[in-house]
Amino acid sequence: MLPNTGRLAGCTVFITGASRGIGKAIALKAAKDGANIVIAAKTAQPHSKLLGTIYTAAEEIEAVGGKALPCIVDVRDEQQISDAVQKAVKKFGGIDILVNNASAISLTNTLDTSTKIMDLMMNVNTRGTYLTSKACIPYLKKSKVAHILNISPPLNLNPVWFKEHCAYTIAKYGMSMYVLGMAEEFKGEIAVNALWPKTAIYTAATEMLGGPGIKSQCRKVDIIADAAYSIFQKPKSFTGNFVIDENILKAEGIQHFDIYAIKPGHPLQPDLFLDEYPEAVSKKMESAGAVPEFKEEKPQPQPKPRSGAVEKTFRIVKDSLSDDIAKATQAIYLFELSGKDGGTWFLDLKSKGGNVGYGEPSEQADVVMSMSTDDFVKMFSGKLKPTMAFMSGKLKIKGNMALAIKLEKLMNQMNARL
């Protein structure tokens, strides 16, 4: 597991939903550095089915070397949030890190989702994240560390993630959209990022949704805690990212992930919203008996590239690529182009130095863009803004919208050459 470095000693970390599960795991990881932890959660009295209260979490935090401030907070209540923030500032002198972890989930379709449940998910996930961020931002601005971390998924417009649980998806994506907006709004002042697991994480909520059999297919909460800890140590310039736990830990040098598994060697349940295995996850929701396994796709042979305006554009794009661009983007884009010199092209910004080519990439694309060749050339030369192309229907996008936006920024840098 990722070792503690002591860098968070004396930092104040405000965590919603920290009485148990992922929130408490992140709290304990930071506490081992000697951090101050504000436990902002609802559970003050023991629950009949869920273990842990804000007070038992405080005891655990102090047992590993941290300082704890348990606060009764329902993130739907703006006054409770404000009171907890003021208590934190009075006790610890400020706030350095905010973790928006509190969440409500109901994987139900439209007709089976009551108004009460719909309101709960919107008010806890989307509204609660906004209110808590707003209350903490004035103090985060004064911090040298200054991180907001939302436990929310990458924005992915693949309909498979909407059709079974539309209300939950929209409520959860609200948290992710704050990452997009606030990262830009507070650039240079506060790092704002999202963190999401590659596989199911075992918590009381996971067992409630998937039954006791789900446990062996999950990883421990420690993998999320380690990934969050890695993010907290990065500078404020590391912002606007949708981080997957396994990916960032691989970058930290961790190669073996069985240590995080509940049952090492057992097939793992992929998490929601990640397009590597969408159909497997969808089927899993429909039939609890199916256990999806990770599979590697074999590279497909590539056809010969064509000539013309599109090929010329890709050639210039390739000449503009660098290791820094690839490291900053970490995505593969697939272009399905209609018209003269069209066909399927890819832009690989995951491999070292980046690459372009005609045909399918060796790995599954994160974003698929469909448009005419004429509009493609105009878009890359700056004559057609991607946002306008998308809104007017000239450009269709499938996949991770956040990574699509990253490509737009990259195109702005290349326009002078194209």
Structure tokens at 382: 């700056």
- Cross-strand partners of 56: none
CA dist., res. 320 & res. 333, Å (int) = 16
Angstrom CA distances, 291 to 45, 218, 321, 323, stand at: 37, 11, 40, 38
Give the range among 258-272, 313-327, 359-373, 403-417 with minimum mean pLDDT: 403-417
Q: Which band of pLDDT confidence, cut at 50, 70 and 90, is reported for residue 302?
A: very low
Of residues 283 and 14, more confidence is placed in 14
Per residue in 171-213, pLDDT (tens digit) is 999 999 999 999 999 999 999 999 999 999 998 777 766 666 7
Would you tell me the crossing angle of helices 166-185 and 128-140 to the nearest 10 degrees?
A: 20
106 to 109, 112, 118, 301: CA distances (angstroms): 9, 10, 9, 42
The dihedral built from the CA positions of residue 271, 25, 38 and 70, taken in this order, carries a sign that is: positive
Report how far residue 272's alpha carbon sits from residue 187's, in angstroms, rounded to the nearest whole number: 29
| Strand 191-196 versus strand 36-41 pairing type | unpaired
Nearest alpha carbon to residue 341 among 310, 369, 371: 310
Q: How far apart are CA 304 and CA 359, in angstroms?
A: 8
For residue 38, list its beta bridge partners. 14, 69
Q: Which residue among 139, 168, 173, 333 is the active-site one?
A: 168
CB atoms inside a 10 Å sphere around CB 245 = 24
Residue with tokens 């104040």: 12
Q: Where are the beta strands (DSSP E) in 240-341?
A: 242-244, 331-338
Question: Hey, is 244 helix, strand or coil?
Answer: strand
Is a pLDDT exceeding 50 seen at residue 288?
A: no
Confidence of residue 380 (pLDDT cuts 50, 70, 90): confident
pLDDT in tens, 118-166: 999 999 999 999 999 999 999 999 999 999 999 999 999 889 999 999 9
**Between residues 302 and 152, which one has the greater pLDDT?**
152
Measure the CA–CA gap between 136 and 85, rounded to whole angstroms: 7
Locus of tokens 């704050």: 178
Which residue type does 279 have? Answer: E
Residues 6+ positions from 327 with CB-CB distance below 8 Å: none
More confident residue, 105 or 326: 105
pLDDT in tens, 43-89: 888 876 677 899 999 999 999 999 999 999 999 999 999 999 999 99
What does the alpha-carbon distance between residue 44 and residue 37 come to, in Å, rounded to a whole number? 16
Q: Rounded to whole angstroms, how far apart are CA atoms 222 and 267?
A: 18
For residue 168, indicate whether it is catalytic.
yes
Whole-prediction pTM? 0.77
In Å, how far are 5, 202, 206, 223, 292 from 260, measured between CA atoms? 20, 11, 16, 6, 18
